[in-house]
């Protein structure tokens, strides 16, 4: 038989596998291999950050750039979408077409325009936060809105409410091109759009001779009424002129944008006033040159037919008058300059001309209303909109400036006359307006510590770092100018003793980007709560960049979050299981999310792989796209019944209801029925899935899964109604939403060969080097060329043309390239505070005696994928002491309920020697025994699960290392608690015995010798010989205030001095200290120096914490230094004090005056040296 016939015969036997067959053959890896697991899997799969109205933003739309209040811009877009609807929705998002905002590129720190695709508006609830930076730059936002700031040598998004004074916030500091450079202003579209009441008074000159059949007087006086032109839809020639009937000043219909025009606009912004038919510019009588120049500028800018004169206003002032109604209208409608001092603004035209013409505008304004000092230029105005425009313009110049304002007040003149003074805004420009630098301004300083500069220099260990003057002051100075920063870095590279360690190479490249980028830093001056006059707040969506430039003085702002977090909705999830038949259930899950639009509902629930996020490099609960649609598929295969979905968005009056099944051959949804139904919920989704399953109790049950979910999602409220019995509700423990995760491109070290080849086939890049730079994270143009060189490939070749062998060479070169680790802002860990809050909220009924302070490790990387590890331990209370500890496993905030033995998280717990930390562990390995629960959470852009069911985490060396370190650190905290508890109990027992027996002996002895009972304080202290430290915490629920008191008792026979150290959890600030601490650090460490505590005396320190829930702070982490730690009960030695010679401390102070030597009590003394307390 010919080979072709064989092939055809074999082909006939092949058939396309359907999605139902795929599901059936792979249900064991999808979590549906048993009735018990299937029920849990179905349930599992179903389960304000904005800107104030008046904040200005730079927007380019349809090629025209303007500075506009964000609320004004977005309200206009909302009206266009809603039409004349009177009701205003609580929340609305509108798409934007051809709209761009200014932002910087993370990879280069260069500033440019980026596309904004959505505008958001939602109702404001509560006050706003006003952020003020050094130099007076301000922005008013909701507390959860983010700006970009320096943290640990990188730029990250910080919520404004989390910022502190002296934090460094990102602002532009280099020249930014705002527009293409408009050369002329065509006024003809404006003429054609005028209202007829105004248009009928306008005449057009210079076109009557070319029009046949017009009245003789029109040709004689060379004019044609505008109404005539509009009614006949005639075209106005570009050389025509216009004026108002009977007016003598004529204006060109096309105005050239010249130096003279821009300088005149600057003078008008400083000194101008506009009436309907006249324009006034007021000058001092001594400014003769400026007066004559202004008259000349008017003629040169608007033509020789514009009438202008200078008229004395009074003895010391001269008024330049421009008699032109048509020019007055143009200034109002086209340039929008403002009519008088309080309404002045920078014309939009200024943001659309060349840099030279922008400087002409600024120079004109300064000459009219500024004062040029020796080191700075000062200007003042009563127009907030004008100073905002000026500061934005200066920021685009890359110039340093500062802002201040003086509140409205009244002024009394010598004759007793009082005058009301408006709020005044002052703008100070350092140096000149020209291209000269301004190195003395904070805008051009780069901090050495916060940028990681010192760390990199120490890693390079340059030969001359301790000899040249450039480095001598490095440790004492907080910052360098940009030029000195670059010089120092260059010298460090030139004289480096060693190559930068791998962990510092990425930091080194970050410093390079700072030097050549367009951003600088200004420190936070203050943050204060303010009220808003607007009922709404606003935001933009800027894909791939997630930032935009705005505010009074120009600050980079973070844009919207997504899903419930984008909509600022605290999740409220309701789960209900109803028993339909013997082994058939109806699983109903409902949430209050933003809802799903009608056209997407069938695809989301009835199409496998439709919602896949596998390509996305950011932390997400699901990735494969097999979740909810897989649950629908299982229900359909086991019961034959359709799934019902009801979804409603805030913009919909009614909810969309659909019953659907999955077409298993085509992998497409089939709608059985659909309808619109009335729902009371404003927005949300409900899904009802019929399925066969088995309902069980124990650790792998539905309520246990939901309980675990509530622990790691403390911002969610979760309720569960079982088929029988009462509902179970897990209330939310916080109203703080998780931080948003950012999507990042793939990292070269984490890419597979097949994926690389697929990317090259689909890329839009025409050059290999550009493909590497644009499609991968942490690849610069220099690195891209190095990779191409290592693979012996031409950087100019097309990526699509690479054959297999060339792709392999490229892949190998990418894996061996030295690259910075991927950014970690694509992760969203739970956080130490919220882990503890979630544990207490859910496990509080077990009454644990101790919650070990949870630990969130710094981000790490495996195979190019960022990840973070978090651990928490709960101990004691009603937990069983004779059972293995319970391990709560989580991945990306999702509980892992099965395959515990094959999971890396369980193995990591078993690998730790828990005997060192106070737990029983038979044989020194395996899960320990004791009254404890261990929480382990791994979050990553790609969690390495052992299967698609996502039930266990695979063993990866980097993850195992981080887990081991985190578990041991948390174990040490548990050991500290147990040791402290044991010491206290032992000392307390000894103290109680001494206090009970000695007084009785003394009483009987005194009676025998007929003496008074002596004071036993000195004797007791000699027996005890300890410094006892304890703390009390009182909580005021109404004020949400913790009052913390730390008592230090000296039960030794000598005076003691020591340092008491307190470590507060991250993000908690203390106040109302008594006494004042010697040091309060940003990392939460507080130190008190207790100079002397006499024998049998007590010292007390106290402070307060505000704004926390009671469970957030229930035990103080206290450390001591400056004293032998063996004497201290109730506090641990400060790490680092172990090497001190504690004998030195014992000899520092002698016994308290009058203290007796050890020996027999002398009853002949009339009184004791130590007074009784």
Domain residue ranges of the chain, discontinuous segments joined by +: 19-47+570-695, 51-174+519-560, 184-249, 448-511, 748-816, 832-978, 1014-1146
What is the strand order of the sheet 376-381 is part of? Answer: 370-372, 376-381, 424-430, 401-406
Alpha-carbon distance 303 to 310, whole Å? Answer: 18
Residue 311 bridge partners (DSSP)? 319
Strand segments, DSSP code E, in 297-373 are 307-314, 317-323, 370-372
Average pLDDT in the chain: 79
Return the SS3 of 454.
helix
| pTM, entire model | 0.50
- The 3-class SS string of 503-554 reads HHHHHHHHHHHHHHCCEEEEEEEEEEEECCCCCEEEEEECCCCCEEEECECC
Q: What does the pLDDT read at residue 566?
A: 44
Q: Where are the alpha helices (DSSP H) in 736-780?
A: 753-762, 768-775
Residue 12 pLDDT class (50, 70, 90 cuts):
very low
Q: Which of 248, 225, 347 is nearest to 303 (CA)?
A: 248
Q: Are the CB atoms for 506 and 451 separated by under 8 Å? A: no
> pLDDT at residue 935 above 60?
yes
Alpha-carbon distance 252 to 848, whole Å? Answer: 84
**Percentage of residues in the chain with pLDDT exceeding 70?**
83
Domain 748-816, CATH: 1.10.8.50
Residue 255 pLDDT class (50, 70, 90 cuts):
very high
Choices 4.10.93.10, 2.40.50.100, 1.10.490.10, 2.60.40.1170: CATH for 1014-1146: 2.60.40.1170
Per-residue pLDDT, averaged over 142-163, amounts to 77
Tell whether domain 19-47+570-695 is in CATH 3.40.50.300: no
The distance in angstroms from the start CA to the end CA of the chain is 113
Alpha-carbon distance 155 to 513, whole Å? Answer: 12
Choices 3.50.7.10, 3.40.50.150, 3.30.365.10, 3.30.230.10: CATH for 832-978: 3.30.230.10
Alpha-carbon distance 953 to 946, whole Å? Answer: 6
Alpha-carbon distance 973 to 552, whole Å? Answer: 47
Residue 146 bridge partners (DSSP)? 159
Alpha-carbon distance 328 to 322, whole Å? Answer: 9
Q: What does the pLDDT read at residue 844?
A: 64
Alpha-carbon distance 238 to 189, whole Å? Answer: 12
Q: What does the pLDDT read at residue 612?
A: 38
Alpha-carbon distance 869 to 856, whole Å? Answer: 6
Length of the chain, in residues: 1173
**Percentage of residues in the chain with pLDDT exceeding 90?**
17
Alpha-carbon distance 141 to 127, whole Å? Answer: 9
What CATH class has 51-174+519-560? mainly beta
Q: Which of 655, 740, 652, 638 is nearest to 689 (CA)?
A: 638
Ranges 127-136, 455-464, 928-937, most confident:
928-937
Q: What does the pLDDT read at residue 329?
A: 92
Q: Which of 61, 55, 51, 54 is nearest to 351 (CA)?
A: 61
Residue 619 CA: distances (Å) to CA of 614, 742, 826, 943: 11, 8, 6, 9
Q: Are the CB atoms for 145 and 112 separated by under 8 Å? A: no
Per-residue pLDDT, averaged over 429-450, amounts to 71
Residues 6 or more apart in contact with residue 280 via CB below 8 angstroms = 272, 273, 274, 319, 320, 321, 322
Residue 994 pLDDT class (50, 70, 90 cuts):
confident
Per-residue model confidence as pLDDT tens digits over 19-35: 444 444 444 444 555 55
Residue 669 bridge partners (DSSP)? 662
> pLDDT at residue 562 above 70?
no
Ranges 380-384, 405-409, 1133-1137, most confident:
380-384
Q: Beta 572-579 vs 717-721: how paired, if at all? A: parallel
């Amino acid at each position: 038989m010919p080979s072709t016939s064989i092939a055809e015969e074999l082909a006939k036997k092949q058939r396309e596998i359907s999605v139902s067959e795929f599901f059936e053959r792979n249900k064991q890896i999808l979590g549906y291999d048993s009735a018990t697991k299937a029920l849990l899997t179905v349930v599992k799969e179903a389960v304000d950050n904005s800107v104030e109205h008046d904040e200005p933003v730079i927007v380019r739309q349809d090629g025209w750039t303007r500075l506009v209040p964000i609320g004004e811009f977005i309200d206009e877009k909302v009206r266009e979408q809603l039409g004349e609807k009177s009701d205003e929705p609580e929340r609305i998002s509108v798409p934007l077409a051809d709209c761009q905002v200014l932002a910087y590129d993370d990879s280069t720190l260069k500033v440019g325009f980026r596309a904004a695709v959505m505008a958001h508006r939602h109702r404001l609830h509560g006050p706003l936060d006003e952020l003020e930076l050094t130099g007076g730059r301000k922005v008013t936002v909701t507390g959860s809105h983010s700006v970009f700031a320096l943290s640990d040598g990188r730029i990250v998004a910080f919520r404004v409410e989390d910022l502190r004074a002296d934090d460094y916030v990102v602002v532009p500091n280099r020249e930014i091109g705002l527009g293409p450079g408009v050369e002329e202003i065509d006024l003809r579209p404006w003429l054609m759009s005028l209202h007829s009441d105004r248009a009928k008074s306008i005449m057009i000159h210079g076109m009557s001779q070319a029009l046949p059949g017009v009245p003789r007087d029109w040709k004689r006086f060379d004019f044609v009424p505008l109404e005539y032109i509009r009614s006949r839809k005639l075209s106005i020639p570009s050389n025509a002129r216009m004026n108002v009937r009977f007016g003598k000043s004529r204006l060109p219909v096309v105005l050239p944008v010249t130096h003279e025009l821009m300088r005149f606009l600057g003078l008008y912004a400083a000194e101008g006033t506009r009436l309907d038919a006249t324009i006034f510019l007021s000058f001092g009588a001594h400014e003769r040159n400026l007066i004559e120049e202004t008259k000349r500028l008017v003629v040169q800018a608007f033509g020789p037919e514009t009438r202008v004169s200078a008229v004395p206003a009074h003895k010391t002032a001269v008024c330049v008058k421009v008699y032109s109604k048509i020019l007055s209208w143009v200034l109002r409608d086209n340039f929008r300059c403002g009519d008088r001092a309080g309404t002045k603004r920078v014309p939009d035209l200024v943001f659309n001309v060349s840099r030279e013409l922008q400087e002409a505008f600024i120079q004109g304004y300064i000459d009219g209303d500024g004062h040029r000092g020796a080191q700075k230029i000062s200007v003042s105005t009563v127009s907030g909109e004008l100073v905002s425009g000026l500061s934005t313009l200066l920021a685009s110049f890359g110039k340093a400036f500062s802002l201040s304002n003086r509140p409205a007040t009244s002024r009394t003149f010598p004759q007793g006359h009082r005058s009301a003074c408006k709020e005044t805004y002052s703008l100070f420009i350092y140096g000149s307006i020209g291209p000269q630098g301004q190195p003395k301004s904070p805008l051009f300083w780069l901090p050495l510590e916060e940028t990681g500069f010192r760390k990199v220099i120490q890693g390079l260990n340059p030969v001359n770092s301790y000899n040249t003057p450039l480095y001598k002051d490095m440790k004492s100075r907080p910052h360098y100018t940009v030029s000195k920063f670059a010089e120092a870095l260059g010298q460090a590279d030139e004289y480096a003793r060693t190559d930068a360690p791998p962990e510092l190479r990425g930091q080194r490249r970050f410093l390079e980007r700072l030097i050549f980028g367009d951003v600088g830093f200004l420190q936070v001056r203050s943050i204060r709560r303010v009220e808003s006059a607007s009922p709404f707040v606003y935001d933009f969506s800027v894909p791939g960049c997630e930032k935009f430039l705005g505010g009074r003085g120009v600050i980079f702002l973070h844009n919207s979050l997504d899903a419930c977090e984008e909509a600022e909705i605290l999740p409220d999830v309701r789960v209900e299981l109803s028993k339909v038949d013997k082994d058939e259930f109806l699983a109903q899950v409902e949430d209050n999310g933003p809802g799903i639009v009608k056209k997407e509902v069938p695809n989301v629930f009835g199409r496998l792989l439709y919602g896949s996020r596998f390509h996305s490099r950011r932390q997400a609960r699901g990735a494969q796209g097999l979740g909810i649609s897989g649950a629908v598929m299982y229900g359909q295969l086991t019961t034959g019944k359709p799934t019902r979905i009801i979804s409603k968005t805030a913009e919909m009056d009614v909810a969309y209801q659909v019953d659907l099944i999955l077409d298993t051959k085509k992998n497409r949804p089939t709608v059985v029925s659909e309808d619109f139904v009335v729902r009371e919920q404003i927005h949300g989704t409900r899904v009802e899935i019929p399925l066969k399953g088995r309902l069980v109790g124990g650790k792998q049950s539905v309520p246990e899964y939901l309980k675990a979910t509530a622990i790691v999602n403390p911002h969610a409220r979760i309720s569960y109604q079982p088929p029988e019995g009462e509902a179970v509700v897990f209330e939310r423990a916080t109203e703080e939403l998780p931080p948003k995760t950012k999507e990042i491109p793939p990292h070269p070290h984490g890419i597979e060969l097949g994926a690389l080849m697929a990317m090259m086939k689909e890329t839009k890049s025409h050059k290999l080097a550009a493909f590497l730079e644009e499609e991968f994270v942490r690849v610069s143009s220099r690195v891209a060329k190095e990779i191409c060189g290592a693979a012996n490939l031409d950087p100019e070749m097309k990526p699509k043309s690479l054959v297999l062998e060339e792709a392999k060479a490229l892949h190998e070169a990418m894996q061996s390239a030295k690259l910075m680790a991927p950014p970690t802002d694509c992760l969203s860990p739970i956080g130490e505070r919220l882990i503890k809050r979630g544990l207490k909220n859910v496990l509080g009924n077990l009454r644990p005696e101790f919650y070990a302070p949870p630990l969130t490790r710094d981000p790490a990387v495996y195979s190019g994928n960022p990840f973070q590890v978090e651990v928490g331990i709960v101990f004691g209370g009603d937990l069983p002491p004779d059972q293995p500890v319970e391990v709560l496993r989580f991945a990306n905030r999702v509980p892992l309920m099965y395959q515990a033995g094959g999971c890396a998280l369980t193995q990591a717990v078993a690998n730790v020697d828990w005997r060192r930390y106070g737990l029983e562990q038979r044989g020194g390995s395996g899960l320990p025994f004791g009254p404890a629960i261990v929480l382990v959470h791994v979050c990553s852009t790609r969690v390495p699960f052992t299967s698609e069911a996502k039930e266990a985490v695979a063993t990866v060396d980097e993850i195992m290392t981080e887990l081991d370190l985190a578990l041991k650190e948390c174990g040490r905290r548990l050991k500290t608690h147990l040791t402290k508890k044991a010491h206290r109990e032992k000392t307390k027992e000894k103290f109680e015995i001494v206090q009970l027996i000695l007084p009785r002996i003394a009483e009987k002895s005194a009676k025998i010798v007929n003496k008074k009972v002596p004071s036993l304080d000195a004797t007791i202290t000699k027996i005890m010989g300890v410094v006892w430290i304890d703390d009390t915490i009182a909580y005021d629920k109404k004020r949400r205030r913790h009052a913390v008191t730390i008592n230090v008792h000296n039960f030794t026979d000598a005076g003691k001095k020591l340092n008491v150290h307190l470590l507060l959890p991250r993000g908690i600030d203390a106040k109302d200290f008594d006494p004042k601490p010697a040091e309060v650090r940003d990392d939460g460490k507080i130190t008190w120096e207790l100079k002397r505590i006499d024998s049998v005396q007590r010292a007390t320190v106290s402070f307060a914490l505000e704004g926390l829930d009671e469970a957030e702070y229930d035990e103080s982490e206290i450390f001591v230094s400056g004293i032998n730690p063996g004497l201290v009960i109730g506090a641990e030695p400060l790490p680092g004090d172990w090497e001190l010679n504690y004998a030195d401390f014992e000899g520092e102070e002698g016994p308290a005056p009058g203290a007796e030597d050890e020996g027999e009590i002398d009853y002949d003394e009339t009184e004791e040296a130590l007074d009784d307390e």
